[in-house]
Amino acid sequence: MKRSHLFILIGLVLLFGAAQLYFLAPDKTLEVLRPLVEKVKGGTTSAKSKPTDEDMGPIRIGYGYYTANKREAFTNGILMAVDQINAHPKGVFKGRKIEAVEVDLPTTSNPNDMWDYAKDIADQNFVATILAAGGGGENAIIASAVFEKYRIINLWPTTTTTKLTQHNFKYTFRNIANNNVQAQVMAKVCEDTGCKNVGIVYVRSSTGEELAALLNKHINHLDDAVVAFYQSIYPEQKDYFPIVTRLLTKHQAKRLDAIFFSGSTREAIPFIKMLRDFKLDMPVVLGVSQNDPKFLEVDVNGFSPVYGSVVVGIFDENEPDNKLFIKEYRQKFQKKLASYTTAAQAYDSVMLLVEAMRYAKSTDPDSMVSYLRYGGALAMDKKKNARHHYQNGEIISQDYFMQIVRHREGKNGKQVYYFDTYRKDDECIFHVGISCLGCRESSDAAN
């Protein structure tokens, strides 16, 4: 064999060996790195294939609420919407029905727990999820990261932290006022009622701290108002004596027109009760998380300490279409609720998804997202004219308002407390017995 032929033969052998390494090495490398990839990403390296419209089976939607006190109303709102859609001859579209499946959620804010729960949910071939995850927003963010990979649309009807939509998740939306919107609405009440000196008390949690900071900014931007007291409390704090005594001292030195509270119902109720025990009767203004039946069901010797409190509202029970929703809810479940906000949020979430699917004529998440993000939609009212536009996962055109805790006499003579929508031209925002702000008559006449 000529030397030149030998070199050619050796070259071919080397080329063949290099080709084997090129084509086989990637698979071998992935096999070695797969456990590490799974550990870092918190899931498998490839999501299950999603059902296609050709499957023509039921459209699976996962839902869940992390706490027991609102779970029943949330579930009923979901089922009420599903039953209405499935009763339609065309279903969602082409006769397809919805299958709503309740999923488990962690009751803690441990990131590892939420990873595990989110992966289990993602493996169930849902087109979308409607979840109230708790954890101050961290759980929602973690789950959104998992669902992003699986291309699952996820709606968050209770998560208010602004951080949720700062991650540019493609498939993540919320239908509730974020903390910045709430702070603006709460500050507007201060402006309308003529508050001069106010206090802010907040719970040391991610949501509590964020809402308080935004509220502090918006109130201090008002012409005549100033935040004269700014203090924190611990989550689920038992003893409110120290902070209330500090409030009393500040109030005696510089009268506080109102207290703005940023925290959950479990901290708000005992805090307000101690305020009243100390004869501090200034109004308390709170965030949307107080849209909770427990907030209205407090009874101390026949009277509620939260009477006269003002809460951010997202569901006006006096609005005609909402009255019809309440009537249908009572007829279907044979039950009255102190607040229908949670049920309405769940109902609207299902209707939002249905409208997106009908518009897209598909359950493909990218087609649905295109409509949700750029087309503008929310649950249809009875006249099919409720339109809300989303931008980066946020509702940007929905009206938010304030609700005042009022009372009326029930059938047995017992006082019944309820949320009543605040109107700027109310004769007096706060009833007699609570410091009167925003009154058209003089303060002396009102009290």
Q: 50 in a domain, yes or no? A: no
CA–CA separation, 289 and 274 (whole Å): 20
Residue 202: which pLDDT band, with cuts at 50, 70 and 90? Answer: very high
Segment 265-277, tens digit of pLDDT: 989 999 999 999 9
Q: Are 237 and 302 found together in one domain?
A: yes
Whether 440 and 294 map to the same domain: the answer is: yes
- Let me know whether 185 and 299 are in one domain: yes
Same domain, 186 and 258: yes
d(CA 433, CA 430): 8
* Residue 324 near residue 386, CB atoms below 8 Å: no
Looking at the structure, tell me whether residues 15 and 115 fall in a common domain.
no
Two structure tokens written together for 191: 């402006």
Least trusted range by pLDDT, from 104-118, 196-210, 211-225, 230-244 = 104-118
282 and 424 inside one domain:
yes
> Residue 402 falls within a domain, yes or no?
no
Q: What is the pLDDT of residue 142?
A: 93
pLDDT greater at residue 438 or residue 396: 396
305 and 191 share a domain? Answer: yes
* Residue 385 confidence (pLDDT) above 60: no
Would you say residue 223 lies in a domain? yes
Whether residue 104 sits in one domain with residue 192: no
Task: Please give the average per-residue pLDDT across 252-257, as a whole number.
Answer: 90
Is the model's pLDDT at 388 over the cut of 80?
A: no
Q: What is the mean pLDDT of residues 402-409?
A: 85
Rounded to the nearest 10 degrees, what angle do helices 341-360 and 68-87 cross at? 40
Beta carbons within 8 Å of 315's beta carbon, 6+ residues apart: 291, 322, 340, 341, 344, 345
Check pLDDT > 80 for residue 376.
Answer: no
Mean local confidence (pLDDT), 368-390: 55
- Quote the pLDDT of residue 374: 66
* Number of domains into which the chain is organized: 3
Least confident of 3-12, 179-188, 324-333, 398-407: 3-12
Tell whether 326 is covered by a domain: yes
Does the residue 400 lie in any domain? no
Task: For residues 332 and 260, state if they share a domain.
Answer: no
- pLDDT of 79 reads 97
pLDDT of residue 155: 93
Phi first, then psi: what are they for 332, rounded to 5°? -75, -45
Q: Does a structural domain hold residue 49?
A: no
Task: Work out the pLDDT band at 52, boundaries 50, 70, 90.
Answer: low
Greater model confidence, 174 or 151: 151
Domain that holds residue 82: 57-176+319-395
Domain identity same for 336 and 248: no
Q: Is residue 309 part of a domain?
A: yes
Q: What mean pLDDT, rounded, does the chain reach?
A: 79
pLDDT in tens, 260-309: 999 989 899 999 999 999 999 888 999 988 888 888 888 877 788 898 89
Output the domain CATH number for residue 420. 3.40.50.2300
Q: Residue 405: inside a domain, yes or no? A: no
Where does the pLDDT of residue 312 fall: very low under 50, low under 70, confident under 90, or very high at 90 and above?
confident
Range 227-244 average pLDDT: 93
Range from 39-43, 186-190, 443-447 that averages highest in pLDDT: 186-190
Given this model, what pLDDT does residue 423 score?
64
